[in-house]
């Protein structure tokens, strides 16, 4: 059985660990930067220095915050660890979809034809990614969100729970789309938008 460690002893890490086990991995331990954490979900928690001695394992990314997940991804890659993508078996993924390393796809997600999903992305439960969508690295598509065909989602975008993006739009990098928002026009980079229709509140 393939061995995996989950970086991030967190609520999100619990879900990633579950998916990893369903995908046929044996979760060996969690890794966390908080030295006070010694045990999580009945498993030991170690720092990265300990994990570095275990060259036979790969890693799942159990970190919800996009910027923190990106930093950990770069740390693991620079130390030559493998980061497989993890896909819950209930997800429906077109055979033409491209998926980057370290990405996690959760239960009941749909990803349709010729979509491209970057590295370190979270496609959370029951999200819908339509045809020809391009999702940049380290984005997080929250539960129940729907992205129509041909949309471009920038690096590090957070799409809040139950958000909707209509077809053909561009969402600039590191933007945050508030929960329940309906995006009907392009969004500039580093923008916080909320509402239906979504309107910019401030730059972030």
Domain covering 2-78, topology? Rossmann fold (3.40.50)
pLDDT at 114: 99
| Confidence check: pLDDT of 118 > 90 | yes
pLDDT at 130: 99
Mean pLDDT of the 169-194 span: 99
Q: Where are the domains of the chain?
A: 2-78, 86-203
pLDDT at 45: 98
Q: Per-residue confidence at 167, pLDDT binned at 50, 70, 90? A: very high
Is CATH 1.20.1090.10 correct for 86-203? Answer: no
Q: Per-residue confidence at 64, pLDDT binned at 50, 70, 90? A: very high
Chain segment 77-102, per-residue pLDDT in tens: 999 999 999 999 999 999 999 999 99
31 - beta bridge partners?
A: 7, 46
pLDDT at 50: 94
pTM for this model (two decimals): 0.96
Active-site residues, by number, are: 131
pLDDT at 1: 84
| Confidence check: pLDDT of 149 > 90 | yes
């Amino acid at each position: 059985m393939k061995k995996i460690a989950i970086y991030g002893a967190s609520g999100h890490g619990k879900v990633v660990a579950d998916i990893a086990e369903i995908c046929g991995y044996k979760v060996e331990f969690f890794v966390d930067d908080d030295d006070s954490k010694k045990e999580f979900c009945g498993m030991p928690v170690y720092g990265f220095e300990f994990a570095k001695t275990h060259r036979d394992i790969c890693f799942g990314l159990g970190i919800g915050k996009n910027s923190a997940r990106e930093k950990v991804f770069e740390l693991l890659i620079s130390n030559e660890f493998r980061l497989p993508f993890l896909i819950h078996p209930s997800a429906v993924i077109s055979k033409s979809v491209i998926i980057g390393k370290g990405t996690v796809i959760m239960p009941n997600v749909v990803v349709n034809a010729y979509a491209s999903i970057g590295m370190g992305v979270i496609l959370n439960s029951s999200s819908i990614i339509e045809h020809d969508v391009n999702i940049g690295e380290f984005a997080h598509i929250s539960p129940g969100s729907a992205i129509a065909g041909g949309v471009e989602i920038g690096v590090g975008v957070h799409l809040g729970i139950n958000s909707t993006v209509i077809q053909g739009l561009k969402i600039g990098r590191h933007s945050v789309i508030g929960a329940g928002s309906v995006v009907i026009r392009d969004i500039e980079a580093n923008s916080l938008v909320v509402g239906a229709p979504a309107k910019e509140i401030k730059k972030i």
